[in-house]
Every structure is written in C-alpha cells, then in structure tokens.
Amino acid sequence: MLFGVNRFKLLAIYPYGGPMSEQDLFNVGVGLISCFGGWLLRIIWQAIKDLQKRDAELAQKLSSVEVLVAGEYVKKRDVDKLADALFNKLDRIEDKLDKKADKQ
C-alpha cells in the first residue's frame, strides 16, 4: 500500500475501467521494448547510410587522385632531353679524363 492506494492498481489503471491483467502488462512491456528496438534500429540504419555516403565520397576523391597521378607521367621527349644532357656531361668527363691520361 502506497499512501493508502494499492501501488499495483495505481500503476496499472486500464482505460477500460479495470486493473490490467498480467497479459496486458506483458503486451505493454513488449510494445515499449519494441518501440525502443525500432528507435535503435533506425539510428543504426541512419549511421550505416551516413557511412555509405562518406565511403562514396572517399571513393570519388580517390579516383580523382588516381586520375591526377596517371596524368602526370614524364613525357618521352623530356626523358630523351634529360638523357641527352646527361650523356653530354658524361662525354665531357670522359674527354677530360682522356686529356689528363694523355698528359701523363
């Protein structure tokens, strides 16, 4: 008894005028648990959708980086020009070594 009123009757006033049966309490409990479970599943579903959106954005950024990297290869003419300059320097070094060897 809580303040002269049965606590069970106070908590379980049924809209149809009588106290709730055990089955009604069970149904209400299952309904509340189901509501909480549905809310939790909705939050998880939204988090998954957000992660999928971020994943798509990152995949797009990665593909744009791949395009940039693939577009920045050294051109053949630049490599040929560098090779010619390098071989000219090596030829000059060889000539200097030959001149020095002739002096000795």
Angle at 15 between CA 13 and CA 19, to 5 degrees: 35
pLDDT of residue 1: 45
pTM above 0.85, yes or no: no
For the chain, domain boundaries: 74-104
End-to-end CA, the chain: 122
d(CA 11, CA 24): 12
Q: What percent of the chain clears pLDDT 70, i.e. is strictly above it?
A: 73
**pLDDT digits over 62-83, tens only?**
887 766 666 677 888 999 999 9
pLDDT of residue 23: 83
Backbone angles phi, psi at 19, to 5 degrees: -70, 155
**pLDDT digits over 77-100, tens only?**
999 999 999 999 999 999 988 888
d(CA 87, CA 79): 12
pLDDT of residue 54: 97
> Helix or strand or coil: residue 19?
strand
d(CA 55, CA 53): 5
